[in-house]
């Protein structure tokens, strides 16, 4: 299938819209379809997707902008793939929005979306490039420009995304891994499948082993499942190396067990190499574990950046999607590194999870002022804010009272400067009781890190009116996780796996932005003055 750009938007003689009455045309012009057709659909850039198709002359692809536009509309209205495919031929609004009113036959069928997604998945696995992310970010920036939003002040937040999987016990995890491989061997009609393991292929065996047989304790069940795992792996040999069921069983054994003195497999203790990357469920081997704010999470995490205006209009202009053990601090660093050198001055507001001296310095290098609504660590004395260091923090230049030290020695291990001052200077200093210097015969010494002075400066900034105004601004982004969770159901996506859920999440962000633009344009149309009679 070769790539063909859908650039022709001419109205044909048989255009479906031409058969409408004047009243119906006016209704169509005032509907959401008009806003989508004029402001969103033309902004979808097809060119980057040409790499998904063959260079050789062959049957042309389904228009990419129609596919992407339909997937955005799917999220706007909360439809399934089947519902949007069935709606398009019979609803003129969807055809008008996607510029397909002139098509003799609507270009989407029940396989269009699946094949397009599969191409995007394969391309990202091969190159690491997420075409959908790039397309949606470009589209979102265009929407923000249409709405004349203030991109000079932004707000950032992260949100957990649950994988659509069951929470499994260690017994169920191991049992399921063995059962999946046994079913694969049976499907391939492999005669080497041990007869004693055939029960794993029966539909009701899962419930029998895990729930019905109450007389047998969990430890003995685990012991038997581990013996069966060793048996089935030895039967497979190297013939199943390319099958995911085989690799996932090996992974489960490696992560969950250890070998005892007798050479038998036993479960690891909680502190014997069990970490957040441990497989949570074979149905989604990419999902990771994280405990945040006292709650357990299994799945992924997303980071969103939003811009707004004085009338509470807002658009999410950037997002990043990772496994859920990715830190907020790393999200911030990734975002700042993606920003251009020498850009316009900007303010970025976040919560306390993004704070840190290194993050502030990185933001300053890109002309961005980072404002965090909270700080990590204990409160420090305010006077430390007036201590001055050189640029890299390896030398103390002067103390809070303005005195220059006799000497300043930097310790790489503690990242602190050990500075000495004349004893009489320290004793007569108004900050003597706050510094708590160590007094010697002729000098007094203190140890202080540049990060302590930075922390004190941030504490001081938190008391200003400017900070309180920016903190209130940042709180507005809390509506984004709520909207994605309640309206777009990010915790119940119909796919599993990192790359697949990331693609779905991207379209949910695009759908949320499209709704906001349509609502904005609709409100602007209502505010427009009515034409006056002559």
In the chain the domains, ranked by start, together with CATH numbers, are: 1-129 (no CATH), 131-166+289-375+462-501 (3.30.420), 170-267 (no CATH), 382-450 (no CATH)
Q: Left if phi > 0, otherwise alpha if psi is -120 to 50, otherwise beta: which for 266?
A: beta
Instruction: Please tell me the pTM assigned to this model.
Output: 0.91
User: In this structure, is the dihedral angle defined by the CA atoms of residues 47, 50, 55 and 58, taken in order, positive or negative?
Assistant: negative
The rounded distance, in Å, linking the Cα atoms of 533 and 47 is 47
Alpha-carbon separation of residue 273 from 225, 260, 292, 296 (angstroms): 21, 15, 20, 19
The rounded distance, in Å, linking the Cα atoms of 492 and 487 is 11
Per-residue model confidence (pLDDT) at position 534? 40
The rounded distance, in Å, linking the Cα atoms of 518 and 524 is 10
Of 346, 342, 326, 324, the closest CA to residue 334 belongs to: 326
Per-residue model confidence (pLDDT) at position 237? 87
The rounded distance, in Å, linking the Cα atoms of 77 and 66 is 16
The rounded distance, in Å, linking the Cα atoms of 355 and 269 is 34
Of 513, 502, 507, the closest CA to residue 40 belongs to: 513
Segments in the chain below pLDDT 50: 533-534
Alpha-carbon separation of residue 48 from 3, 65, 407 (angstroms): 11, 11, 59
The rounded distance, in Å, linking the Cα atoms of 181 and 240 is 9
Report residue 163 as tokens: 């994988």
User: In this structure, is the dihedral angle defined by the CA atoms of residues 448, 452, 454 and 456, taken in order, positive or negative?
Assistant: negative
DSSP designation for 27: H
Report residue 386 as tokens: 């007036």
Report residue 474 as tokens: 């940042």
Per-residue model confidence (pLDDT) at position 262? 83
- CA dihedral angle for residue 264, residue 266, residue 271, residue 273, rounded to 10 degrees: 60
Report residue 273 as tokens: 């190499």
Phi, psi of 115 (to 5 degrees): -70, -40
Per-residue model confidence (pLDDT) at position 356? 92
Q: Are 92 and 475 in contact (CB under 8 A)?
A: no
Alpha-carbon separation of residue 51 from 6, 28, 48 (angstroms): 15, 36, 7
Per-residue model confidence (pLDDT) at position 527? 67
Per-residue model confidence (pLDDT) at position 56? 78
| Alpha carbon distance, N-terminus to C-terminus of the chain | 58
């Amino acid at each position: 299938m070769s790539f063909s750009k859908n650039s022709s938007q001419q109205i044909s003689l048989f255009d479906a819209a031409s058969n409408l009455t004047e009243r119906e045309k006016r209704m169509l012009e005032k509907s959401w379809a008009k806003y989508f057709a004029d402001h969103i659909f033309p902004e979808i850039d097809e060119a980057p997707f040409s790499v998904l198709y063959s260079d050789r002359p062959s049957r042309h692809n389904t228009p990419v902008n129609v596919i992407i536009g339909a997937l955005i509309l799917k999220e706007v209205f909360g439809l399934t793939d089947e519902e949007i495919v069935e709606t398009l031929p019979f609803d003129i609004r969807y055809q008008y929005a996607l510029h397909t009113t002139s098509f003799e036959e609507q270009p989407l069928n029940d396989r269009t979306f699946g094949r397009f997604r599969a191409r995007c998945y394969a391309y990202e696995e091969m190159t690491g490039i997420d075409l959908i992310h790039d397309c949606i970010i470009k589209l979102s920036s265009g929407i923000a420009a249409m709405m004349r939003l203030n991109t000079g002040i932004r707000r950032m937040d992260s949100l957990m995304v649950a994988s659509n999987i069951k929470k499994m016990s260690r017994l169920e995890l191991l049992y399921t891994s063995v059962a999946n491989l046994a079913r694969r061997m049976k499907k391939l009609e492999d005669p080497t499948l041990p007869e004693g393991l055939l029960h794993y292929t029966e539909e009701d065996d899962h419930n029998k082993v895990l729930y019905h047989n109450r007389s047998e304790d969990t430890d003995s069940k685990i012991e038997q499942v581990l013996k069966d795992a060793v048996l089935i792996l030895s039967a497979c040999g190297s013939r199943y190396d390319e099958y995911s069921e085989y690799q996932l069983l090996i992974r489960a054994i490696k992560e969950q067990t250890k070998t005892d003195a007798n050479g038998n497999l036993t479960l690891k203790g909680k502190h014997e190499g069990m970490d957040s990357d441990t497989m949570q469920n074979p149905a989604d081997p990419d999902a990771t574990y994280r405990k945040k704010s006292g709650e357990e999470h299994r799945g992924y995490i997303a980071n969103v950046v939003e811009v707004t205006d004085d009338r509470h209009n807002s658009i999410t202009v950037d997002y990043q999607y990772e496994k859920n053990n990715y830190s907020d601090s790393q999200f911030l660093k990734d975002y700042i590194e993606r920003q251009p050198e020498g850009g316009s001055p900007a303010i970025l507001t976040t919560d306390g999870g993004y704070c840190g001296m290194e993050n502030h310095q990185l933001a300053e290098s890109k002309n961005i002022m980072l404002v965090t609504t909270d700080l990590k660590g204990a409160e420090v004395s305010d006077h430390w804010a007036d201590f001055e260091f050189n640029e890299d923090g390896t030398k103390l230049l002067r103390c809070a009272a303005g005195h220059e030290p006799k000497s300043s020695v930097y310790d790489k291990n503690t990242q602190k400067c050990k500075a000495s001052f004349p004893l009489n200077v320290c004793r007569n200093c108004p900050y003597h009781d706050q510094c708590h210097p160590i007094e010697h015969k002729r000098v007094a010494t203190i140890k202080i890190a540049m990060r302590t002075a930075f922390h004190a400066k941030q504490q001081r900034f938190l008391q200003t009116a400017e900070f309180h105004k920016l903190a209130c601004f940042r709180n507005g982004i809390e509506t984004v996780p709520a909207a994605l969770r309640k309206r777009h159901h990010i915790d119940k996506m119909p796919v599993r796996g990192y790359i697949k859920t990331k693609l779905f999440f991207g379209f949910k962000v695009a759908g949320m932005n499209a709704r906001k633009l349509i609502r904005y344009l609709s409100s602007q149309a209502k505010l427009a003055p009515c034409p006056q009679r002559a």
